[in-house]
Amino acid sequence: MSILISGFEAFDGSTSNPSACIVQALLTRSDIATVILPVDSVHGPNRLLETIPKIQPQAILCLGEAARRSAISVERVAINLKDYRIPDNNGITLQDEPIISDGPDAYFSNLPVRKITQAILAAGIPVELSLSAGAYLCNQVMYAAIHATRFTTPRPLVGFIHLPSLPQQVVEKNQSYPSMALETSQKAVQIAIQVIRQTLENNSSQDINSA
């Protein structure tokens, strides 16, 4: 039983990204596959899409940074839109373009988003169910991963969690927006992985029972 966790490289002038830090810390776990994606309109999603068939994961949890947010954001929906407010790390800015030309307008995550949120909350960590993953690379990767796996059997659980900036990123950028300690974000992601694992186990035992 395997879970694929993706994170992003640093972008927008930062020297770090909480999602990459968390992914690196997961490298040692044998039950988890990881990949760090470039913040690149083409290679970001492609790197993830190339990794999926190699791993054939039962669940894909993508992580990214959401500057200005003060809580962990469990994303409910990815929309078929690329509308970048800042350029990607390759200098590309896209406006009002679809991710998949003939794709549906949006996909809901099939992760147990409510359960994940409740479990993180129960651990005393600020978290919200978010209704928008934006229209930048994070949303794009989430949309692309759900789209690419929608006919896979069995269909993997796919979703996205946004993390607040790290304290040192806020300092680096001389901004006044909120932050979250890496330890806190990391604990939230570990809880999310645990909830996903339980869901997979439950699904798996139901399949056996119904066979």
Binding residues (CB under 8 A) for a copy of itself: these are: 70-71, 76-77, 79-81, 83, 96, 104-108, 114, 121, 124-126, 128-129, 131-132, 134-135, 167-168, 170-172, 176-181, 183-184
Question: Cα–Cα distance between 171 and 58 in angstroms, integer?
Answer: 38
- The active-site residue, picked from 62, 65, 147, 162, is 162
Residue among 147 and 156 whose Cβ is closer to a copy of itself:
147
Q: C-beta of 190: minimal distance to a copy of itself in Å?
A: 15
Name the pairing type of β-strands 77-79 and 106-108.
Answer: antiparallel
**Backbone φ and ψ of 83, nearest 5°:** -145, 85
Closest distance of CB 169 from a copy of itself, Å: 9
With respect to a copy of itself, which residue has the nearer C-beta, 54 or 155? 155
Q: Spot the catalytic one: 62, 65, 138, 147.
A: 138
- Candidates 196, 201, 187, 202; CA nearest to 18 is 187
Strand pairing category for 72-75 and 59-65: unpaired
Neighbours of 181 (CB within 10 A): 12
Residue 162 is among the residues annotated as catalytic for this protein: yes
Judge contact between 6 and 48, C-beta under 8 A. yes
147 is known as an active-site residue: no
Rounded Cα distance between 121 and 128, Å, is 9
Residue 201: CB minimum distance to a copy of itself, A: 22
Minimum distance between the CB of residue 164 and a copy of itself, rounded to whole angstroms? 8
- For this structure, is 75 an active site residue? yes
Residues with a catalytic annotation lie at: 75, 138, 162
